[in-house]
Chains A and B, each alone.
Chain A
Amino acid sequence: MGQSAVARPVKVAVVDDHPVVLDGIRSWIKGDPQGRLELVADGQWVDAVLSGPGRGADVLVLDLALFGESVVDRVGELAVQFRVVAFSADTADDTIREVLDAGASAYLTKHEGAEHFIAAVVSAAADRPYVTPSLAKAMLGDAGPGRPRLSGQEERALRLWFQLPKKQNVAREMGIALDTVDQYISRARVKYAAAGRPALNKAAMVARAIEDGLVRPEDVR
């Protein structure tokens, strides 16, 4: 968003139990014409990846199921050290909301990877919200008591983004500019970051959004 030329590429570490996924990610990173990401470490185990150069990563991309074991409960602890982007085959709303609540910056399902991977990681590194259609779905489907209050337009933008995942079409349907669509969706995401369990990355995202003028402090109190 906004920042097209960053001083240095974002350092990213990737954990996934499938080598084919790691290969795919490497090719996405290499294929990015702007070279926005630099892969500092990848591997199949969280601790192995983080014991080496992975320690210095800005963003940790984490598959939530490693060798059949869920690592959802480690997101909170990892999110203290890194911006965590979850990259998972799990599309369940409960999982997405739990990971978000624990302090993950973004959520990508495996089939959203090709389209959103680079942008999601770049946004996470800058503490900016990035909402994939699956994340929009989890926010829409939230009926929990801790659900933040979204405005009518924010909710509508989320819904349309989930239904027809093309921002141009959302903008056309709502009769607003593309940037405004992004604003509505991002604002909804920031409200989520401000709600629920406090976490470092969530606070950083809210602070960044206030700095960017995306939300006013009183909107997220």
Chain B
Amino acid sequence: MTTPVTTVPVARYARNTAIGAIIVAATWHLINDLTGLVTGWSHYRSPVVSAVAWGVVSALNVMGAVSMLGEGARARPYLPIVGVPLLLACTAAVFANSQADTPGPGAGVFSPTNWAWATFGWQAVLLLWRWPLLWLLAALAANMVVCLATAYATGLLDWVSLSRMVVVFWGTASIQLAVAGGATALVRLSERAARAGAERAELLAARQAADEVHADRQRRYRAIGRAVRQLLAGLASGELDPADGRVQDRCAVEASRLRRLIAEHDDAPSPLLHELRACADVAERRDVAVTLETAGVVPPLPVQVRRALTEAPIHVLAAARSHARVTVVSMADPPEVEVSVVADAEADDAYGGAGGSDSGRAHGVEVTWSSEGEGEGRWVRAQWRGR
């Protein structure tokens, strides 16, 4: 019931924020990184290493994007676990590879040829999409450590480049963390909104169902009330004799109808119980006292199953002479519904022209006939098992 309401807007929000992040990362990688790689080709110690690093980042970019847009963005933990160290390796490789012949303070660090450390952040945002923000923070810090270590090892680390690097790290990381955090917050917010909406819809549906049940109950209460009033008035005026067997029968019937009405607790309309109640009402008009009780909650059933479940019980109810007990047992796991009627009905009447067979099966419903006690009456069970 809740699935369509909650998942649709949440999926849309998540998808749109993901697409935004993917566009930023991919554009940066295609325009900035590729330009750096191509223009710096002759300056690398080994251009092939830089080209391979560019290829690895491209592959991670695509894999990150596919994972983000696919089902369950957090389903594949291997992607960040493998991807982030690979990205760090690219940072180190390009860094160490591109410093060769660029003179001046900070030049090697910030030259367009040394593109990998700057692209790291956005790629990490993709790989760690929807994983805890702390992971992204840790990855960004690791990138900074790798950069500083490489710069130190290659002799490029002077005060100017160090201070510039810190400023750049600070500036880009705050944007990247904001995007990732904002996306998570947005999704969480929309999830909450969707849940509230679903709850409201469910409440409305339950209320509508309860109103229906209430109206139906009131209608029946009025009908029963009329009969009971007539009966009581007749007894009070002496018109009806309490010693008369027929009057006693009428009292028994009205009592069982009232009892049934009071006993009803289901606030969702159950068509199966509704049908059985209707049959009980018909039997009661013939002065048969009917008890109808249910154990468990009747699941929604297709109309054919309901018909198959009620057919045999209706025959027994129709043939009952003075009393009948109708029970409905519903089990949830495995799903099962059993309608049973015990009544003092003539065996021949109870068959209802069903022929000689003692049991039958239709629409997954198995019907079992037996006689209750020694010639006391008939007992029929109709049992449906779901799978």
- Residues of A with Cβ closer than 8 Å to B? 89, 91-94, 111, 133-134, 136-138, 140-141, 143, 159, 162-166, 168-169, 172-173
Contacts and interface: CB of A to CB of B under 8 A. Distances in A.
Given A162-B329, A163-B327, A169 B294 contact: no
A162 B327 contact: yes
B229 interface: no
B340 A141 contact: no
Contacts of B327: 137, 162-163
Contact of A162 (B293, B330, B370): B293
Contacts of B291: 111
A163 B329 contact: yes
Contacts of B379: 164, 169
Given A136-B295, A143-B333, A166-B372, 14 more contacts: A93-B295, A94-B265, A137-B295, A137-B327, A141-B296, A143-B296, A143-B331, A159-B329, A163-B342, A164-B340, A164-B379, A169-B373, A169-B379, A172-B373
B7 to A, nearest CB: 26
B332 A91 contact: no
A165 B325 contact: yes
A26 B136 CA distance: 78
15 contacts: A93-B296, A111-B291, A133-B293, A137-B327, A138-B295, A141-B329, A143-B331, A162-B295, A162-B327, A163-B327, A163-B381, A164-B342, A166-B372, A169-B373, A172-B373
Contact of A137 (B262, B293, B332, B340): B293
A156 B329 CA distance: 11
A174 to B, nearest CB: 13
B372 A140 contact: no
B294 A141 contact: yes
A92 B265 contact: yes
B297 A169 contact: no
Contacts of A136: 295
Contacts of B342: 163-164
A166 B295 CA distance: 18
A24 B365 CA distance: 44
B188 interface: no
Interface in B313-340: 325, 327, 329-333, 338, 340
B372 A164 contact: yes
B263 interface: yes
Given A140-B329, A159-B329, A168 B293 contact: no
Contacts of B331: 140, 143
B259 A111 contact: yes
Most buried by B among A91, A162, A164: A164
Contacts of B330: 141
A128 B327 CA distance: 27
A140 B262 contact: no
A166 B379 CA distance: 12
A166 B259 contact: no
B324 to A, nearest CB: 11
Nearest to A109: B263
Contacts of B332: 143
Contacts of A169: 372-373, 379
A111 B338 CA distance: 23
Nearest to B333: A143
A116 to B, nearest CB: 15
B327 to A, nearest CB: 5
Contacts of B296: 93, 140-141, 143
Contacts of A143: 296-297, 331-333
Most buried by B among A136, A141, A143, A165: A141
A111 B265 CA distance: 17
A154 B297 CA distance: 20
Interface in B241-280: 259, 262-263, 265
B325 A164 contact: yes
Pick the 9 closest A-B CB pairs, nearest first: A141-B295, A141-B296, A140-B295, A137-B295, A163-B340, A92-B265, A91-B263, A143-B332, A163-B327
